């Protein structure tokens, strides 16, 4: 049987990104190619490398793609070129390190830009940190609102005494209402944001353009010729 054509997916330092696996597997499935996942390391073999290869192979098998996994050490361009000469029918390479192979590798090399290669953990950490800050604000404003309500109810007589004194004291109810509104509004806003419900921004609102629909024109009647005979034209 004739050996199938292959795609070589190349990564460095034990890690294949999710974007790399998804793109490589779906492209191989669409072209009916086999897939080889090559991990190039500067050091020797490790257990983590085995785990990464097993994940890649299992995901490929779930999508009906035959996948092999290999690990080599050395410079990535030299390793890929040597691997190309050793392995038959490798059509092209997919990698996130195309600039390191330019001018050395003699088969086509396609670059894939992944958001999970280097800054994936950083982004996740930033998201978690943002959620923690939001949760802290929600708790703080909630406690402040509860404390303000408790203070008013526990000192109802004193509050009513000052609110009904007249003069400048008449502004105290208005100030109190604004203070409660700010505290409770901030608590509610942060609570909705923590639950993933955000207000629609003004720039995101798409205004619909109303088009005027002309009424359907009635078909014009064709002019008809009428003959009129004067019965008295001979008189």
Q: Which of 58-62, 67-71, 131-135 has the lowest mean pLDDT?
A: 131-135
Given pLDDT bands bounded at 50, 70 and 90, which one contains residue 209? very low
* pTM assigned to the model: 0.46
Residue 107 and residue 124 in one domain: no
Residue 14 lies in a domain: yes
Residue 138 lies in a domain: yes
Residue 100 and residue 186 in one domain: no
pLDDT at residue 212, as a whole number: 43
Tokens representing residue 170 in the block: 């008449």
Which residues fall within 8 angstroms of residue 141, CB to CB, at 6 or more apart?
A: 183, 184, 186, 187, 190
| pLDDT tens by residue, 154-208 | 998 888 888 888 788 888 888 988 999 999 888 988 888 877 676 655 554 444 4
Q: Which helix (H) or strand (E) holds 154?
A: helix 120-154
Which of 85-99, 119-133, 220-234 ranks highest by mean pLDDT? 85-99
Which residues fall within 8 angstroms of residue 38, CB to CB, at 6 or more apart?
A: 8, 9, 10, 11, 70, 71, 72, 79, 80, 83
CB distance 73 to 44 below 8 Å: yes
What CATH number does the domain containing 102 carry? 3.40.50.620
Residue 225 lies in a domain: no
Which string of DSSP letters, residue by residue, matches 80-137?
HHHHHHHSTTEEEEEES-GGGTTTT--S-EEE---SSSSSHHHHHHHHHHHHHHHHHH
Residue 124 and residue 107 in one domain: no
Q: Which helix (H) or strand (E) holds 34?
A: strand 34-41
- Give the Cα separation of 184 and 187 in Å (integer): 5
pLDDT at residue 147, as a whole number: 92
Residue 39 and residue 64 in one domain: yes
Given pLDDT bands bounded at 50, 70 and 90, which one contains residue 144? very high
- Arithmetic mean of pLDDT, 2-7: 78
pLDDT at residue 124, as a whole number: 47
Half-sphere exposure of 90 (CA within 13 A, CB side): 26
Which is more confidently placed, 165 or 212?
Answer: 165
Report the number of distinct structural domains present in the chain: 2
Residue 89 and residue 37 in one domain: yes
Residue 37: give the domain boundaries: 6-111
| pLDDT tens by residue, 20-40 | 888 888 888 888 899 998 888
């Amino acid at each position: 049987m004739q050996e199938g054509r292959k795609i070589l997916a190349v990564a460095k330092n034990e890690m294949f990104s999710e974007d790399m696996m998804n793109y490589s597997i779906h492209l191989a499935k669409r072209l009916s190619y086999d897939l080889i996942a090559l991990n190039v390391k500067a050091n020797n073999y490790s257990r983590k490398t085995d785990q990464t290869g097993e994940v890649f192979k299992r995901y490929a098998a779930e999508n009906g793609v035959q996948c092999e996994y290999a690990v080599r050490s050395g410079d990535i361009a030299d390793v890929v070129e040597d691997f190309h000469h050793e392995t038959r029918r490798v059509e092209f390479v997919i990698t996130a390190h195309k600039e390191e192979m330019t001018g050395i590798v003699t088969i086509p090399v396609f670059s894939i830009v992944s958001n999970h290669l280097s800054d994936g953990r950083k982004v996740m950490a930033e998201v978690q940190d943002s959620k923690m800050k939001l949760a802290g604000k929600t708790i703080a404003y909630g406690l402040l609102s509860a404390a303000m309500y408790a203070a008013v109810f526990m000192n109802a007589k004193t509050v009513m005494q000052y609110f009904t004194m007249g003069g400048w004291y008449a502004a105290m109810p208005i100030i109190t209402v604004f203070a409660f509104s700010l505290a409770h509004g901030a608590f509610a806003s942060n609570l909705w944001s923590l639950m993933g419900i955000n207000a629609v921004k003004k720039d995101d609102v798409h205004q619909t353009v109303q088009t005027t629909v002309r009424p359907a024109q009635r078909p014009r009647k064709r002019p008809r010729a009428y003959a009129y005979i004067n019965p008295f034209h001979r008189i």
